Amino acid sequence: MRDELRVVLADDHHFFREGLRDVLTSEGMAVVGEAADAHGAVALARELAPDVVVIDLNMPDASSVAAIREIVAERPGAHIVVLTVSVDENDVREALTAGARGYLLKDARTSEIAGAIRQAAADQGVVSGEIMRALVARMPSDEQASERKTHDAQALTARELDVLRLLAEGADNAAIGESLSISKHTVKQYVTNILEKLELQNRVQAAVYAVRTGVV
């Protein structure tokens, strides 16, 4: 069915790709291509125009970050999710700056991975809770100042503050919706409102803002 999400997997470990393919297939997605290296990921993204590319950060032939940049340069609307073992904040920043819409660890729950792929396809960013907390805790002081900006959290409604607090804890849209008894679509709109009001670019910046300004 064409309404299935079409996914390309890029990882140099065959057995990991095989397991992830089975998981995504069971979630109603179509894995339309698999690559064992970064160059292959770029080639498949170009050839197949998938809805989402899931890519490991550490590949044997070339930089995955460079591959992400190349894919996004060719297809500005490309949706890319990094699925890796690296919790290094520089890796996270480089991947997101290159254009990745999501960054998750390989030990994430299968439901979390599937949810992140769906969110990326819907043009929503998602970063695993563990990564989000690590980024907030390690943010260098000069970057803290730039992220905080001069905006006041009082510009947000009570419900937007609720969403921001949960976002800063690393909750994805589904978890936020469940916690607040609202739909994922409504959560997406709240997140969009928060970023616009605070003039921030993504969920990571919003989480940092929340912690550094005492919202959470």
The per-residue pLDDT for range 38-88, each reduced to its tens digit, is 999 999 999 999 999 999 998 887 789 999 999 999 988 789 999 999 888
Does 115 lie in the same domain as 13? yes
Does 195 lie in the same domain as 117? no
End-to-end CA distance of the chain: 43
Tally of domains in the chain: 2
User: What range does the domain containing 177 cover?
Assistant: 135-212
Does 185 lie in the same domain as 88? no
User: Is the CB of residue 10 less than 8 Å from the CB of residue 53?
Assistant: yes
What pLDDT digit, counting tens, does each position of 158-205 carry? 999 999 988 887 777 888 999 999 998 899 899 999 999 988 877 777
What pLDDT digit, counting tens, does each position of 91-120 carry? 888 888 888 988 999 988 888 899 889 988
Assess if residue 110 is contained within a domain.
yes
pLDDT for the residue 111: 85
Mean pLDDT computed over 137-162: 65
Q: How far apart are CA 100 and CA 72, in angstroms?
A: 8
Does 163 lie in the same domain as 123? no
Assess if residue 66 is contained within a domain.
yes
Does 142 lie in the same domain as 76? no
Does 109 lie in the same domain as 144? no
Assess if residue 181 is contained within a domain.
yes
Assess if residue 1 is contained within a domain.
no
Q: How far apart are CA 77 and CA 149, in angstroms?
A: 28
For the entire predicted model, the pTM comes to 0.75
